[in-house]
Structure 1
Amino acid sequence: MLGYVLRRAQSAVFDDFANTFDKAGEALTPGEFGLLVLVDRNAGLSQMALARALGIDRSTLVPILDRLQERGLLMRHRSPTDGRTHALALTPNGEKALARFARLVRAHEKRIASQLSAAEIRVLIDLLEKVHAGARSL
């Protein structure tokens, strides 16, 4: 069954991600990494826009942002264009940490894709995007 195989693959990928970060003495989840990348690439992104981009509820996002802010990786400030919203940015320490994290993720990605050619990786990503789109359309 497709769902079962996807779940087993996700579990193995997440385990490798966790082991990669544990061995490096870092603590980060795949979701937190993705969040930091989105904030880094979208200066001034609002919390609402980030929640939409991640496909999660704002109430789920706030505790994650709190943790990353407490770790000194992320900061919130009032949006200069809309005082009702918070704009997000990485701190200088967050930028340095993200560079370290990206190196770890590249090593992780190389390991999990070691059985695939570049063309197979592209096909797999395309197929997974189709599965995602099909599941979201329900």
Structure 2
Amino acid sequence: MRDAGEKNVTASAGRNELPARARRKRAGNGAARPDDADEVGLDALVGHAGYAVRRFQIWIFQDFVRTLAAVDIRPTQYSVMTVIGANPGLSQMAVAKRLGIERARLVHLLDSLERRKLVKRIKSKTDRRSHALHLTAQGELSLTKFKQLAAEHERHVEEKIGKANRERLLQILAGFT
């Protein structure tokens, strides 16, 4: 699978034989507009941390999904299972708050993990409105495999930005976790 920034060479091979000026399309105002995304200037976005972080996040998510595709687990599902595994009996509210997930979205996510028999909800003995979250035996085994694949994904990140940069990035972002 290609990186997010990689060009589709085969799809555009024929058109790339034309000079750049001939490949440009006309914008609605008559100005020339490049066909190739790499030719589009970013202006002030180049200096915006938020833009760079978002682009890196897209790459991170794509690599995570690609690396864990065989086990069909998404980044948020992995995060929820990891937190539940580390804190058996945690309430849905606590998981939602800790991970910054809307409660309604977490309910749907937990429903899908329950259907896969990875997570179970147990009614709280102290609060009838609350459920304690636990991994099932299958969920515990699966999480072990997920963590191995997630470690592979982290190696991909290290290959992309270097070990020292990855460690520094984690230090910088620690205040947001």
Which range, TM-score by smaller chain?
0.7 to 0.9
Question: Offset of 1:94 from its aligned partner?
Answer: 0.4
Question: Offset of 1:60 from its aligned partner?
Answer: 1.4
Structure-2 separation of matches of 1:10 and 1:51 = 21
Question: Offset of 1:123 from its aligned partner?
Answer: 1.9
User: 1:36-86 CA deviation, whole Å, 9 max, x = no partner?
Assistant: 000001010001111111112211110000000001100001123333310
Answering whether residue 98 of structure 2 is matched by residue 53 of structure 1, we say yes
Question: Offset of 1:116 from its aligned partner?
Answer: 1.8
Structure-2 separation of matches of 1:13 and 1:57 = 22
3-state secondary structure, aligned to 2:68: helix
Write the letter of the residue equivalent to 2:67: T
5+ long unaligned stretches in structure 2: 1-47
Structure-2 separation of matches of 1:101 and 1:129 = 23
1:1-138 paired onto structure 2 within 5 Å:
1-22=48-69, 25-114=70-159, 115-117=161-163, 119-130=164-175, 132=176
Question: Offset of 1:127 from its aligned partner?
Answer: 1.8
Aligned to 2:28: none
Question: Offset of 1:129 from its aligned partner?
Answer: 3.7
Question: Offset of 1:2 from its aligned partner?
Answer: 1.2
Question: Offset of 1:89 from its aligned partner?
Answer: 0.1
- Identity, in percent, stands at 38
Structure-2 separation of matches of 1:49 and 1:13 = 26
* Structure-2-length-normalised TM-score: 0.68
Quick check: which one's helix share is greater?
A: 1
Question: Offset of 1:3 from its aligned partner?
Answer: 1.4
Task: Tell me how large the CA RMSD over aligned residues is.
Answer: 1.6
Question: Offset of 1:96 from its aligned partner?
Answer: 0.6
* Structure-1-length-normalised TM-score: 0.86
